[in-house]
Amino acid sequence: MSGPAGNDGEGVATAGKAVHPGDLYAHFAEHDAELKARYPEQFQGQNLGLRWPDGWHTLVAGVCAYVAEHGIPVRWHQIKEKFGELRMYAEGVALRAEFQSADGATSFTSAGEEGSVPAAPTLEAKIREAQTASLQTCSRCGATDPSAQVTRRVLAGWWFTACDRCVPDIHAYVALPRDQR
């Protein structure tokens, strides 16, 4: 594999999609296709949006693998990044209400929402584990080692979790005009 190097946001790619090093979702289409092919039963039907940053793909894939291994009848409703954390919502797992306070994000789980089936406790724990791990995993490159200084950061009101090395690229990407992202 050869990574495209030295192309930092200059050329306008009309033919083919250039990969920007600060794009958290540069490889999402491949990751999405991979999991849908491997676990089609988990991705059937309608959903509210399934999208996760490249650096967290192994976390999402890990939860999907766990579901498959244990034969848990789960369909994903929503997978996303929120407040710099990975959130995975499955049909049958208690819904989670979220609130944002001035100094950050807090959330709580409210069990027993209408229409939801009591969650498989182990799956809920597994999802929580992935969520916790996402706060220590760069959502761009997947780095987890302490030397990478992975932490949750905020940029113009947007929370994201990244390592020191990826932050300049992510800032550069976010600064691009919308039609160039």
Specify the stretch interacting with Zn ion by CB under 5 A; choose among 3-11, 19-27, 70-78, 137-145.
137-145
For residues 60 and 138, which CB has a smaller minimum distance to Zn ion in the complex?
138
- Asked if 24 interacts with Zn ion (CB under 5 A), we say no
Q: Please state, in angstroms and rounded to a whole number, the distance separating the CA atoms of residues 63 and 54.
A: 15
For residues 77 and 169, which CB has a smaller minimum distance to Zn ion in the complex?
169
For residues 32 and 55, which CB has a smaller minimum distance to Zn ion in the complex?
55
Half-sphere exposure of 62 (CA within 13 A, CB side): 15
- Asked if 140 interacts with Zn ion (CB under 5 A), we say yes
Least Cβ distance, residue 139 to Zn ion (angstroms) = 8
Q: Please state, in angstroms and rounded to a whole number, the distance separating the CA atoms of residues 141 and 24.
A: 8
- Asked if 143 interacts with Zn ion (CB under 5 A), we say yes
- Of 2, 58, 52, 5, nearest to 29 by C-alpha is 52
- Asked if 170 interacts with Zn ion (CB under 5 A), we say no
How many residues are present in the chain?
181
119 — phi, psi (to 5°)? -75, 150
